[in-house]
Amino acid sequence: MGNLSHSPMLDGVFPDGPDTILLHPAVTARRWRRRQVLAAVRPGTVLKGLSVVFVAGFALVAGNGFAGKFIVAAVVLIVVLAGWRAACGPGDFRRLHEPAPGARLRRGEGWRSRDFADLGADTASLVRELLAGVDELHRTPARAWIDPALPGEAHRVVWEALCCLDRSRDARALAEELATDPDAGEDLATAARQAVTTIDHDLDEVARHLRGCLLLTRAWEAKLRRTDLARRADRVLVALPGREELRGLAGAAEVLPRNVFAHVTAARDLTQAGEFPWEQPPSQWPRLTLLPPHRATTTPKAGGPAGERQS
């Protein structure tokens, strides 16, 4: 489900789809790792292992020779597995299709982001913002520069805020009921509505202060990125070749065409291969065209100027 040493926000798969979980502040990384190990070692796995050990030991004692021991072991193993599947197959099938995170997470150990979806779109959005804020405070590169206890304190505050939000369910239901009941009286409906409004306002304040923390850490993250980029730029620019080195290379390359020209003209004279195109009169130079070679040109009409030149 995730690594609790970095963030109390974990990912899980549930019957209604993937979701994120905010663990209880008391669930430490060591405790969660122990829970994961214990969840992985299921009773069925232990019994199957003991059955294999029993079959192997029985085969070593009962059979005569390798072939006899192998046959005895195979028969006993088939019988044990067949009986196991007949007795526990349906239950194992159901367990295989149970979401592991949901089976491991006990009631009260975590809040899912969907736990508050029934309280309205605004409340659900606020909950997702709080959970994302806690996760970001635990993972931000600025964590090494702030109070080490701050992410944990933010975790505790958000957890308690979600607990208060959960405790407000009855008040919200009552406010809706009183708002539609003509016999309830305006004073009761107003009091219930005011209580819910106060809770929502206080939760908005929690979210606002969490946004302030994130605004500060993001600003410091930008400073850290700028410093890192400046350091990398200095390191890369220092490694670039100097201007004098490049000028020396350009000077060395400048004499190469003259060297080639001297050799090819000497070879031309020795082999009597004739003049190069640039040594002929301009009228004999290859005619340049603006069209690519693969594009067909339009054949001039017989009566046009081109036709007159060709005639």
pLDDT tens, position by position, 203-252: 999 999 999 999 999 999 999 999 999 999 999 999 988 889 999 999 99
Q: Of 17 and 148, which is predicted with more confidence?
A: 148
For residue 173, pLDDT over 50 is answered with yes
pLDDT tens, position by position, 33-69: 665 555 555 555 555 565 665 656 655 555 556 655 5
For residue 100, pLDDT over 50 is answered with no
The predicted structure's pLDDT at residue 15: 79
Report the sign of the C-alpha dihedral through residues 36, 29, 162, 127, in that order.
negative
Count CA within 13 A, CB hemisphere, residue 115.
19
Residue 30 tokens, joined: 């060591």
For residue 95, pLDDT over 50 is answered with no
Strand-strand pairing, 110-112 and 9-14: unpaired
pLDDT tens, position by position, 249-290: 999 999 999 999 999 989 988 998 888 877 778 777 666 555
Q: Using alpha carbons only, what angle is made at residue 210 by residues 204 and 212, rounded to the nearest 5 degrees?
A: 105
Query: 122: alpha, beta or left, given left = phi > 0 and alpha = psi -120 to 50?
Result: alpha
The predicted structure's pLDDT at residue 18: 85
Mean pLDDT calculated for residue range 23-36 = 69
Let me know: does 32 contact 104? Beta carbons within 8 Å.
no
The predicted structure's pLDDT at residue 13: 77
* Separation of alpha carbons 288 and 286, rounded Å: 6
The predicted structure's pLDDT at residue 93: 34
Average pLDDT, the chain: 76
Q: Using alpha carbons only, what angle is made at residue 110 by residues 157 and 201, rounded to the nearest 5 degrees?
A: 40
Q: Of 167 and 103, which is predicted with more confidence?
A: 167
Neighbours of 109 (CB within 10 A): 16
Let me know: does 214 contact 143? Beta carbons within 8 Å.
no
Residue 86 tokens, joined: 């007949």
* Separation of alpha carbons 260 and 257, rounded Å: 5
